[in-house]
Structure 1
């Protein structure tokens, strides 16, 4: 026998649940926007179809019979389970997640400090950050948005520039006090230099390229320390172990808070920079669009500041 043939109508069960919960046909009628007589008729019809007496009429209300108690427990539990399931399904549909790929440096020094602002605007979106130090291979990867460092003509299609490259020497205030002042390229080249390994820079300037870009004839000596990721280099600079190259937008917050000093008089700019890339541009996700719009807003705020 089909369920539809074995079960009474859903409307009848809803009216029964309300009447049993209120212990009153009048209370059920008020909740359901009906009348006491209509509720009474529905209950009589339900009792007749089931062949059971579900309520005893008492003074100023009704009371469940033993059969009514068993049915009420089953009906209320069933409806509650349906409601919980629907809420979970709707929450899953509304709750979104995006995968954002970038390098260690951008994630640590720009994205993570600002991410609470995005979450305040869009608490329903989970941002999952995937980091890599070298060039990221998007083939076969589940990446919605990527923020990558690239040259003037990015190799990735569907990319727009977030920040142009500006680089300058950085060090701790104590290091500058002990080794400064710095008034020339020659002085810069003579200081203990911190170097980022060639496999870790994604096309970033190294010290020889930096001096060439500054049109200086000075050739820097060997670095005292070499690192395979930029976050370690920054930590060494903060600790006063040498002079590193700092990228604007990545180190600006550290300079503003006086953790590092930026020698901006030795600044060097290029047409390279950070780009926002859509590895799957034809996949339209609200969460992805919200995140990219937020990146553009943060860029505009940084430029205006």
Structure 2
């Protein structure tokens, strides 16, 4: 049997709750902006529906029967629970939280510098960033949006591609000027090279695959420094400790501000890139959709277009 068939109307229960709380039909009528006679008729209808007496009529008011006391307790607890739930839902709507997962490099060099623009558009949405260096199963975590690096075939349920992979050597301005012109693969390979470890690279180019991708016969020597974190590699490059591989869009701001020099004449592109993934697409959350729309608008292709 459905609840609608087992329960009296919600309106009659609301009127009963008010009358029981005030211990007066008149008091209930004033609160509900009704009349004493209308309240009395609703209570009579409820008692008739239930087949029990809920109130005893006394001088200048009413008193609950034992049955009425039991019903009053249940109705009050039920309505209080509903009111609390609605309050929580309204607060959630006004102040939403989304969890965004990505790698350290993307968070540090692309997302964080742009995030103030999203917060300006949506000040009541909290963005919590979950970072990791390697590939992780974001689908098993409490993640609303994931931004991951890879190829289209290796990434399932992606919403759109944020930007393509383009790689070129980067170094500090001082190291660039102190070195003789870097005009060949041979000269580039002779520079102090900074390497990102395979576990940290998530399938990114290393120096060997980079030279192969450039169709060069040059085999690079051993790097002077190896890192398990791309942000550390960037800091080492800024400090003039060697030449690293820079991913366009991630390092563009550092190049534009002349913190780094990008050797774009040695550029190498692939069909990989950063993809926006929605691990739980069936969960319709306004905050998540706002963030996805914002990412789409921040995509380099959309900005340049």
Is TM > 0.5 for Structure 1 vs Structure 2? yes
Tell me if the contact between 2:297 and 2:303 (Cα under 8 Å) persists in the aligned partners: no
Superimposed CA distance per residue, residues 100-129 of structure 1 (whole angstroms, 9 cap, x where no aligned partner):
000000000000000010011111211110
Q: Which residue of structure 1 aligns with residue 239 of structure 2?
A: 239
Q: Give the TM-score taking structure 1 as reference length.
A: 0.73
Tell me if the contact between 2:101 and 2:138 (Cα under 8 Å) persists in the aligned partners: no
Tell me if the contact between 1:134 and 1:199 (Cα under 8 Å) persists in the aligned partners: yes
- Quickly say closer, same or farther: Cα 1:304–1:3, change in 2 above 3 A: closer
Q: Distance in 1 between matches of 2:284 and 2:239?
A: 45
Tell me if the contact between 2:237 and 2:243 (Cα under 8 Å) persists in the aligned partners: yes
Q: How many residues align?
A: 241
Q: Distance in 2 between matches of 1:236 and 1:300?
A: 27
- Deviation of 1:175 after TM superposition, in Å, equals 1.0
- Quickly say closer, same or farther: Cα 1:279–1:239, change in 2 above 3 A: same
- Deviation of 1:282 after TM superposition, in Å, equals 1.3
Q: Give the TM-score taking structure 2 as reference length.
A: 0.73
Q: Which residue of structure 2 aligns with residue 4 of structure 1?
A: 19
Q: Distance in 2 between matches of 1:6 and 1:97?
A: 38
Tell me if the contact between 1:134 and 1:200 (Cα under 8 Å) persists in the aligned partners: yes
- Quickly say closer, same or farther: Cα 1:100–1:85, change in 2 above 3 A: closer
- Deviation of 1:262 after TM superposition, in Å, equals 0.3
Tell me if the contact between 2:163 and 2:300 (Cα under 8 Å) persists in the aligned partners: no
Q: CA RMSD in A?
A: 2.6
Superimposed CA distance per residue, residues 117-167 of structure 1 (whole angstroms, 9 cap, x where no aligned partner):
001111121111000100021242011100000024233223421110000
Tell me if the contact between 1:164 and 1:273 (Cα under 8 Å) persists in the aligned partners: yes
- Quickly say closer, same or farther: Cα 1:104–1:265, change in 2 above 3 A: same
SS of alignment partner, residue 200 of structure 1: helix
Q: Distance in 2 between matches of 1:212 and 1:252?
A: 24
Please list, as runs of the form range in 1=range in 2, the aligned pairs for 1:268-287 lying within 5 A after superposition.
268-287=268-287
SS of alignment partner, residue 140 of structure 2: coil
Q: Which range moved further: 119-128 or 101-110?
A: 119-128
- Deviation of 1:301 after TM superposition, in Å, equals 6.4
Tell me if the contact between 2:162 and 2:300 (Cα under 8 Å) persists in the aligned partners: no
5+ residue gaps, structure 1: 16-47, 51-82
Q: Distance in 1 between matches of 2:212 and 2:17?
A: 83
- Deviation of 1:12 after TM superposition, in Å, equals 3.8
5+ residue gaps, structure 2: 1-15, 34-58, 62-82
